[in-house]
Structures are given as structure tokens and as C-alpha cells.
Chains A and B, each alone.
Chain A
Amino acid sequence: AQTVTQSQPEMSVQEAETVTLSCTYDTSESDYYLFWYKQPPSRQMILVIRQEAYKQQNATENRFSVNFQKAAKSFSLKISDSQLGDAAMYFCAYRSATGNMLTFGGGTRLMVKP
């Protein structure tokens, strides 16, 4: 079974600074997808960024980028120019290319200081 681990329960960043959230996963599969989701107090999970394992190029979405290290099974999220609205829980998630369910990590609470 796949597992996803987020080792940072909480992170704090100053507004306009850069922060990196860590995620590691365990799988025996070679083809899969990795995701970062944001969950604000409204509880709705919002997709931030997605990475296909077969792509070597790291995904980027505006201020959000990932560092995908397939051999190390590491998938970190970098948030540049942090904004107050970035404050939320962030979840790393894994999905097999042949499966349908998401396996989530335990989450990291990001606080943004003005």
C-alpha cells in the first residue's frame, strides 16, 4: 500500500517570503500522480498543483512550484511571494496511474505573518 508522509505539522512564513513544504511517499509503482491540495477553514479541498511521475520537468503554477525527486520519493511544494490568503492546511496526495483513489498525507498547517 502507498503511504504519504508530511513531516512538518506547522510552518510559518513572513508575507512576501518563500516557504517550502515537504512530502515523501512510498510506492512500488513507476507510474503515478502527485498532488498538493489546499484546505482553508471552509473545509473545501482546492487543487494547487499536480505532477505526473513520468514527467521529469517540475510542475509550476504561478507562485507555486514543486521539486519532484522520483528516486528519493520526495515531492516538496515551494510557495513564493507568500500572501495572507495562502494561510491554510496543505495536503500532499498520491494517486496510482491505474487507480482512482487519493492517498493523503497528514497535512501541514501554514501560517503567514503580515
Chain B
Amino acid sequence: GAGVSQTPSNKVTEKGKYVELRCDPISGHTALYWYRQSLGQGPEFLIYFQGTGAADDSGLPNDRFFAVRPEGSVSTLKIQRTERGDSAVYLCASSSDRGLTEAFFGQGTRLTVV
């Protein structure tokens, strides 16, 4: 695609529910990143994929968070048993290699847990 696409743009869910956030990277980009941006703060790293594998998941806050990229393209961030503290903008980025070139960001998904 022309850019990194994230869906949905906004998601409101009830505490305790399960949510999935989708990221469609730029075609051909092998590296994909998820970041979380809480209100009034800078983005924080969650997980990095190189191809289909999670090369670095050290930023995932706990085992309620999980991400997959089964075919090396689209990625899904999954959050189980959502908590109000999970409310944030979730940003996805992709780049054409390990990251030596520019990472292009999507417009994010704003998740609100009520």
C-alpha cells in the first residue's frame, strides 16, 4: 500500500474485554514495530518483527499483550482482559530492513477502555 494502515482508527471497549488491533505495513517492508503512546507522553516500544518472527518483544508490558505476523505482512496486536490503564494510542511502523532506513508510521489506533 501507499502507507502504513491501521484499523480501527478508534476503538472503545469495556474493561475485561478482548481487543485486536490491525496493522498493514508498506508493501515489501520486512520490519514492523508496535509502540504505545499514552496521553501526553512519547511513544514507548512494545514489539519488533523481522519477517514473521518477533525479534524483540521486550516492551510488552505483561502477558495480556500478544502480537502476531503470520505471513510476514499484516500484524495484529492482541490485548486480553483489557484494563483502563491500557487506554492509549497504539502506533505501528514499518521499514524496509532492520531499521537502518526510515521507519514509516501509521496514524495509530486510539483505544479507550471504559
Contact = CB atoms under 8 A, between A and B. Distances in A.
A101 to B, nearest CB: 4
A105 B42 CA distance: 6
Contacts of B42: 4, 91, 93, 104-107
A100 B43 contact: no
Contact of A101 (B41, B48, B107): B48
| Interface footprint category on B | 20 to 34
B32 to A, nearest CB: 10
A100 B102 contact: no
Given A100-B98, A101-B33, A43 B56 contact: no
B21 to A, nearest CB: 13
Contacts of A101: 33, 45, 48, 56, 59
A91 B89 contact: no
Contacts of B106: 44
Contact of B41 (A50, A102, A103, A107): A107
Instruction: Specify which of A100, A104, A106 lies most central, judged by the most chain B CB atoms within 10 Å of its CB.
Output: A100
A103 B45 CA distance: 7
B41 A43 contact: no
Interface string B91-108: 101000011001101111
B107 A100 contact: no
A45 interface: yes
Interface in B61-112: 89, 91, 93, 98-99, 102-103, 105-108, 110
Interface of B: 31, 33, 35, 40-45, 48, 50, 55-56, 59, 89, 91, 93, 98-99, 102-103, 105-108, 110
Interface of A: 4, 42-47, 50, 91, 93, 95, 99-107
